[in-house]
Structure 1
Amino acid sequence: MTNKEKGRKKVLWGFIYVGTFIIAFAASAIIKMTYNPLSGEMQVDWNDSVGRVYTDIAYSEKEQNKFDLYVPSDNTKKTYGLVVYLHAGGFSTGDKNDDANMLKWLTSKGYVAAGINYTLRNDNNPEASVYTMSQEIKESIPVVKAEAEKLGYNLDRMAISGGSAGGTLALLYAYRDAAASPIPVTMVFEMVGPPSFYPEDWTPYGLDKNPEAAADLFSVMSGNTITTNMIGTPKYEEAVKGISPYMWINENSVPSLVAYGKYDKVAPFRSVKHLINALEENHVPHDYFEFPHSGHGLQNDNKLYAKYIEKMNEYLERYMASE
């Protein structure tokens, strides 16, 4: 390999590291400051009269494969709904503890709630990809169900949610894996999770003008080898399908509540059109909130944010009601 080739490879891998998963470090800083759906009246005074939490329950032997299970104090119902919330962090940072307030709030509404960790991509886990993370979430749900039942909570319906990276993983489970779920999935709600991976839509990272970087970037994210010759062909579509939520939408997909910022440069806003078009074309019940003044943190549209939270409550009441 020539020095020029070595230099090019170094630049490309530097781009991958910065552009793919380290977007999380910029994003997670934003998210931790502004990306918190629980403000004001949604805070919970957590105590034994509200519920209990069981932490760090393992669902496989991998180090990061653990979840926290929140159960309501009222254990007299025949059945309960489960709400899973997946943490943000760009697939390289974050933890289920980041969403403790959200999980407590959901439990206060009578749901069993679970925050699930997954193997993040970093120096210790260089083989982790969006696809492997999604498979770990799929693997976790039967264990969540079993642990809840051990505690006396029979789960007969499920909603899944998340933000940013967690939003993508939530959409993948809802659209790709719901049919095989041990608990019937009735809805999904999420914020700013990338739903598609086409180079021409990822303009903030220059992928529309750099096919080599795009191929390497999405190879890392998908866990598949992608070449520049594949871009724009059915082979490319097949290579990224495993991590592209919108590709799994059909007429049987669950009701969906989604929110995105028009000025999002972390999870590029142009990628959202594929998700919305698929929901509309397949006549899937959904509500789409477009934040016209906000980026990834959805921080500049407070009135619209309040309406999103109101709609989230409506969805939970409608689609997670006991029969």
Structure 2
Amino acid sequence: MTYLVITVFAQEHQTLTYYQNDSIQLEMDLFLPETSNISKHPLVLFVHGGGFSGGNRTGGQSYCRYLAQHGYAAATISYTLYMRGKNFSCGGVTSEKVKAMQYAANDLWSATAYLIDHADQLAIDTKKIFVTGSSAGAETVLHAQYWNRSVMGWSGDPLPKGFKYKGLISGAGAIMDLNMIQKDNLIPMMLFHGSNDRTVPYGTAAHHYCPTDATGWLMFFGSHSIYEHINSLGATSQLYTYCGGGHELSAELFKRDFDLSLDFLNQVLSNQKSQKHIIIKTDKPNTGAATLCD
């Protein structure tokens, strides 16, 4: 059962309940442009980080507010924190880690479906829906786009047949299998990641660099591996590498330099294609990808 608006905060944003059952209520904060010369707005959904055990949607409010000021509907969502009280590192259980991502992806699909259902009321263009996220949120948006929804959805595919997101922005994210990304489901992507990230690998490695005998061992393909793969498929891709940076930069472009996201979104809507790798030096020595930082 779902509900529409439950709270309005000073007309700045609306808090909406997009999913509710006997045990959980999931909400989003939706920011809408105050004035516009178009009848329907492109939409950006933001998914916060926190290892699927913490964090909250308020961390995406400044980002969503900025996008709304530039003509986008933007929502930061809450989702099921399945790993709360559990181990999401090497001492965890691999199947539980996968299930945490599955819960989050299903919640993102539900939030998307809710906004599609209310698109006329909220003036949303359902053909221009982007997903963005940092860390666990980035893993959520990557799998939400590239998993088979009919297989990984709890109740089948909740979205319209043939639905694809318009584009994706991932901060320090990774995907379990590059083979999920194919030409027929590929969308424009902007990625950013620290080259020394020891939590979510920048290239290809185990999550947290766990040893192979760890109960929580899980292979991850990080931003650089994804970037090389989508380049080989000829799609629009942008990678910002923070040389020497670690996982502390997973939300960097969602906290500041909002214009980089806005430029990417506008380019996608204008059908501008690009493949670029921007290298950003940090004050930390690089040990993870030296040849990329020269």
Aligned partners of 1:149 and 1:188: how far apart in 2? 23
> Secondary structure of 2:46's partner?
strand
Q: Match for 1:291: what amino acid?
A: Y
Q: Match for 2:230: what amino acid?
A: L
Q: Match for 1:81: what amino acid?
A: P
Q: Give the CA deviation at 1:270.
A: 3.4
Larger Rg: 1
Confirm or deny: 8 A CA contact 2:130 2:165 kept in the other structure: yes
Equivalent residue in structure 2 for 1:286, among 228, 234, 237? 237
Between stretches 153-162 and 285-294, larger displacement belongs to 153-162
Unaligned runs of 5+ in 2: 1-8, 88-95, 151-156, 205-221, 272-294
> Secondary structure of 1:266's partner?
coil
Q: How does 1:222-237 map to 2 (within 5 A)?
A: none
2:278 is the counterpart of 1:317: no
Confirm or deny: 8 A CA contact 1:195 1:274 kept in the other structure: no
Question: What fraction of aligned residue pairs are identical, expressed as a percent?
Answer: 19
2:80 is the counterpart of 1:119: yes
Confirm or deny: 8 A CA contact 1:82 1:157 kept in the other structure: yes
Normalising by structure 1, what TM-score? 0.60
Between stretches 253-262 and 182-191, larger displacement belongs to 182-191
Between stretches 148-157 and 88-97, larger displacement belongs to 148-157
Aligned partners of 1:159 and 1:173: how far apart in 2? 11
Aligned partners of 1:284 and 1:175: how far apart in 2? 15
Confirm or deny: 8 A CA contact 1:159 1:320 kept in the other structure: no
Q: Match for 1:274: what amino acid?
A: S
Q: Match for 1:191: what amino acid?
A: G
Equivalent residue in structure 2 for 1:167, among 128, 134, 138? 138
Aligned partners of 1:189 and 1:71: how far apart in 2? 20
Aligned partners of 2:232 and 2:102: how far apart in 1? 25
Q: How does 1:59-78 map to 2 (within 5 A)?
A: 59-61=19-21, 63-74=24-35, 77-78=38-39
Q: Match for 2:264: what amino acid?
A: Y
Aligned partners of 1:269 and 1:155: how far apart in 2? 32
Equivalent residue in structure 2 for 1:274, among 225, 233, 237? 225
Equivalent residue in structure 1 for 2:166, among 172, 176, 186? 186
Q: Give the CA deviation at 1:166.
A: 0.5
Q: Match for 1:258: what amino acid?
A: L
Unaligned runs of 5+ in 1: 1-46, 197-243
Q: How many residues align?
A: 222
Aligned partners of 1:309 and 1:195: how far apart in 2? 24
Q: Match for 1:267: what amino acid?
A: V
Q: Structure 2 vs 1, CA of residues 52 and 320 (structure 1 numbering), >3 Å: closer, same or farther? A: farther
Equivalent residue in structure 1 for 2:247, among 296, 307, 310? 296
Q: Give the CA deviation at 1:186.
A: 1.7
Equivalent residue in structure 1 for 2:198, among 265, 282, 289? 265
Q: Structure 2 vs 1, CA of residues 148 and 280 (structure 1 numbering), >3 Å: closer, same or farther? A: same
Q: Structure 2 vs 1, CA of residues 313 and 256 (structure 1 numbering), >3 Å: closer, same or farther? A: same
Q: Structure 2 vs 1, CA of residues 76 and 288 (structure 1 numbering), >3 Å: closer, same or farther? A: closer
Normalising by structure 2, what TM-score? 0.65
Decide which structure has greater helix share: 1
